[in-house]
Structure 1
Amino acid sequence: MIAQRKDDHVRLAVEQQQQHSGRNQFDEVAFVHHALAGLDRAEVGLGTAFAGISWQVPLYINAMTGGSERTGLINRDLAIAARETGVALASGSMSAYFKDPDCADTFSVLRKENPGGFVIANVNATASVDKASRAVDLLQADALQIHVNTVQETVMPEGDRSFSSWAPRIGEIAAGVDVPVIVKEVGFGLSRETVRRLEGLGVRVADLGGRGGTDFARIENGRRRLGDYAYLTDWGQSTAACLLDAQEAGLPVLASGGVRHPLDVARALALGASGVGVSGTFLRTLLDDGVSALIERITVWLDQLTALLTMLGARTPAELTHCDLLIRGELRDFCADRGIDPGPFARRSSSPDLPNETTGNTR
């Protein structure tokens, strides 16, 4: 039953990638072009550091799968790609492992194939501290990701229906494990109020997981006989909106959801993300063309991200928060509704009071 659900998720996620319109709210974020801002490429490095964590590049393969024979093979290939490119790697939800320990190797392969990499275990917000610790131990994980997904659970035929215990349980896990805890939305976004609450619970990092990529409400609705939750398609805030909303939230943030190419990575970093996660785009590459193609694609992305930093005059990913940005369209309307002034983002390079330095996230 669980294995079949995991395979269904992969199949439906790939179908979404094939049908995606190609546009999202990252397209409403534009860099102001300064023709003489560029650097020498040799001056640029991609290292990023946040919450006591250091990554050699600000890109990571975000939580996808595990729990069945097929998804174990996918995890093996994702781990190989992470090993060969130096990106961090997060497991899919490890709930299946707690229910059936025989599927442990579909998750532990992430560490087996990537012994020196940064690997993140993944549990849901109902896991006990003991289960969270077991997940960390199984992967010899460097961090623990707790995913929150009330919308997905609501639409999932066999999903949870009780959510009031999630916040206190997150606090218990954060206090009870020996690695940094990251809380991640699965595609509906974290508001600034939620990020602030997570900080109070002892969470170290928030993965904003916004709308724009894989839509798990749509996936779960596709598993329902009547498809009667179609009206929840596109629920939530986009990743770009979440990044703007989180400017004063206090925690370091990661950006995932709807990241389509290296320019989106640069946009997310410029909006304050310490790292940027990709799932669906990389999954489709892997399933369509194999692990060698995925390694090549990630390598190209990192090369092009370096080129963009060079052109924009940013020596590090963090320095992209000094670049001038124009916020347009519905994203600008979101800012107005949430009391965010988009004007200073367009003048950051010439202002001593940079938004990210005076009110932004601690890196």
Structure 2
Amino acid sequence: MKPMNNRKNEHVSLAEKFAKDARKSDFDSFRFVHHSFPEMSVADASLSTSFATLDMEFPFYINAITGGSTWTKKVNEKLALIARETGIAMATGSISAALKDPTVKDSFTIVRETNPTGKIFANLGTGQTLENAKKAIDLIQADALQIHVNSPQEIVMPEGDRDFSNWLTELEKIVQNVSVPVIVKEVGFGMSRETIKQLSSIGVKTIDISGQGGTNFAQIENYRRENEKLDYLEGWGQSTVISLLEAQPFIGQVELLASGGIRNPLDIVKSLSLGARAVGISGLFLHMALREGVEATVLEVNAWKNQIASIMTLLGKKSISELTSTDIILLGEVKDWCDLRHIDASSFANRSSIN
């Protein structure tokens, strides 16, 4: 088996190995204030949203996971079936594998073949050329292009990149010259407001802050290292909640997406209430698809739609945009982070009386 193919298989199998069913996260330091009279019915709740010029029927999607080997082709086919049957969008894993080895292209094209009319995002790493970005888009007739930012993963990865000096320069070329919207995303290390400012300054309009709490690529790559373990980097980065709080000054300038450690529909609604336009889920849907199968995962995804509508009803909010006027209490380490980074946590506690 070729080294790249083997690495892609290792990533999926190790994501399964390290998956945790009921982990604690910063979402637990986030409480909605309950108001007793919603004054709406569940049927009034609209789950539609939009980002990257695309209209979406539902505010969550399958985020980038895999591709690049015979086994991951089967995984991508399962995920594409789930996306097709539920009407949610889907991102492929990094198409760089197919650009290096054309024999594995079918592990990505299977997504479009399985879901010919779905919303599908191509994915590439930062540092790729404009030419490769165009090839990735064309390969799967992508509706948008995700560019992932992953310097901690590269540092821990035994065969990873060590030169990040051209990342912003190459990214700007891609943003300005491709034919589809570009989404820049982290891979589970979160973003700071300084990072978001840099991305906004080069013309990036849609940003997935992808925080800590889900699939941990520092942990996965560290496990793959035979020598010089870097386990002390496995806690690097910011959580999804903290990253969304960091991003608050840029709401209106950029579109925010959230991902990283999403466990249930309540975590989705919490992310939406902090300004995310939609929420990406990778690990959880991967584990469901591999362990329980496509049919069971489709049932679960559809159940999540109903549960999101129910939570919106409890909050008295009929649309995704209205969720940003919910009252939120931030506690513990999240509140401490806000204090040290000069984010006014108290401003979130009384939003319904202000709006």
1:253 match: 256
Distance 1:346 1:140, change over 3 A: same
The one-letter code sitting in structure 2 at the alignment partner of 1:315 is: K
Q: 2:350 aligns with which of 344, 347, 351?
A: 347
2: CA distance between counterparts of 1:320 and 1:227?
46
2: CA distance between counterparts of 1:124 and 1:205?
16
**Matches of residues 46-57 of structure 1 in structure 2 within 5 Å?**
46-57=47-58
Report the Cα offset of residue 279 of structure 1: 0.6
In structure 2, the residue corresponding to 1:274 is in which secondary structure?
strand
Between 288-297 and 144-153, the greater mean CA deviation after superposition: 288-297
2: CA distance between counterparts of 1:204 and 1:341?
25
Tell me the percent identity: 47
Report the Cα offset of residue 49 of structure 1: 1.7
2:329 match: 326
Report the Cα offset of residue 255 of structure 1: 0.3
The one-letter code sitting in structure 1 at the alignment partner of 2:332 is: G
Asked whether the 8 Å contact 1:196–1:251 carries over to 2, the reply is no
Report the Cα offset of residue 212 of structure 1: 0.5
The one-letter code sitting in structure 2 at the alignment partner of 1:10 is: V
Report the Cα offset of residue 21 of structure 1: 5.6
2: CA distance between counterparts of 1:293 and 1:135?
31
1:275 match: 278
Displaced runs of 4 or more, over 2 A: 50-53
Between 310-319 and 182-191, the greater mean CA deviation after superposition: 310-319
Q: 1:13 aligns with which of 12, 15, 38?
A: 15
In structure 2, the residue corresponding to 1:287 is in which secondary structure?
helix
2: CA distance between counterparts of 1:164 and 1:4?
28
The one-letter code sitting in structure 2 at the alignment partner of 1:204 is: K
- Show CA shifts across 1:290-316 (max 9, x none): 111111111111110111111211111
1:102 match: 103
Distance 1:213 1:108, change over 3 A: same
Asked whether the 8 Å contact 1:38–1:311 carries over to 2, the reply is no
2: CA distance between counterparts of 1:311 and 1:234?
34
Report the Cα offset of residue 199 of structure 1: 1.2
Asked whether the 8 Å contact 1:256–1:278 carries over to 2, the reply is yes
1:356 match: none
In structure 2, the residue corresponding to 1:184 is in which secondary structure?
strand
2: CA distance between counterparts of 1:276 and 1:227?
36
Between 51-60 and 262-271, the greater mean CA deviation after superposition: 51-60
1: CA distance between counterparts of 2:206 and 2:133?
17
- Show CA shifts across 1:107-145 (max 9, x none): 011111111111000011121111101110111100000
What TM-score do you get using the length of structure 1 for normalisation? Answer: 0.95
Asked whether the 8 Å contact 2:52–2:183 carries over to 1, the reply is no
In structure 2, the residue corresponding to 1:326 is in which secondary structure?
strand
Q: 1:312 aligns with which of 310, 315, 320?
A: 315
In structure 1, the residue corresponding to 2:286 is in which secondary structure?
helix
Query: How large is the Cα RMSD of the aligned pairs?
Result: 1.0
2: CA distance between counterparts of 1:62 and 1:298?
14
The one-letter code sitting in structure 1 at the alignment partner of 2:41 is: D
1:161 match: 162
How many residue pairs get aligned? The number is 351
- Show CA shifts across 1:221-273 (max 9, x none): 00001361000011100000000010012311100000000000000000110
1:123 match: 124
Between 223-232 and 170-179, the greater mean CA deviation after superposition: 223-232
1:241 match: 242
1:195 match: 196
The one-letter code sitting in structure 1 at the alignment partner of 2:325 is: H
- Show CA shifts across 1:138-179 (max 9, x none): 111000000010000000000000001000100000111011
In structure 1, the residue corresponding to 2:249 is in which secondary structure?
coil
2: CA distance between counterparts of 1:199 and 1:105?
34
Report the Cα offset of residue 16 of structure 1: 1.2
Report the Cα offset of residue 43 of structure 1: 1.2
2:45 match: 44
2:232 match: 231
What TM-score do you get using the length of structure 2 for normalisation? Answer: 0.97
1:184 match: 185
